[in-house]
Amino acid sequence: AARLLDEIRSCLGRDRTWKTALIGAGRIGQALLGFMSLRESNYRVVAAFDVRADVIGGSIYGVPIRDIKDLRAVAEAESIEVFILSVPKESAQEAADKIAAVPSAVGVLNFAPTRLHLPAKISLKNIDITREIDILCACILHQTPLRN
């Protein structure tokens, strides 16, 4: 049984640490960092990036906030693989383009309410909170219990 659990952990990537970065240190970004800081996981957020001068140079939950202009250099130096995108839709593709230029980038979790264009080598998961609430409410209206 222990061997099977180890195999499952390995298949899910839970047997290693994933270096992660947050792009967008606004309210949603701060909430995500707070959530991640409270949970024990194999994701280590090593940097956050933003465009706002009033937050650059600070930190949130111990994660330093860097200028988005430094994304590639920091990501290369830290070997960041996974990026969490929580920026307004107007700047999401520009941020995605910066991620695409990072050689170590393999995944993006996108909270921006827009579809992104990324190279095939980068996995993309879109999270649309409004859509998720729509699904929940449709299940409630149609008395279809949702368990997940």
Q: How far apart are the first and last CA of the chain?
A: 25
Give the pTM.
Answer: 0.87
pLDDT tens column, 96-124: 999 999 999 999 999 999 999 999 999 99
Question: What is the distance between the alpha carbons of residues 93 and 28, in angstroms, rounded to a whole number?
Answer: 18
Is 114 strand, coil or helix? coil
pLDDT given at position 143: 86
pLDDT given at position 27: 94
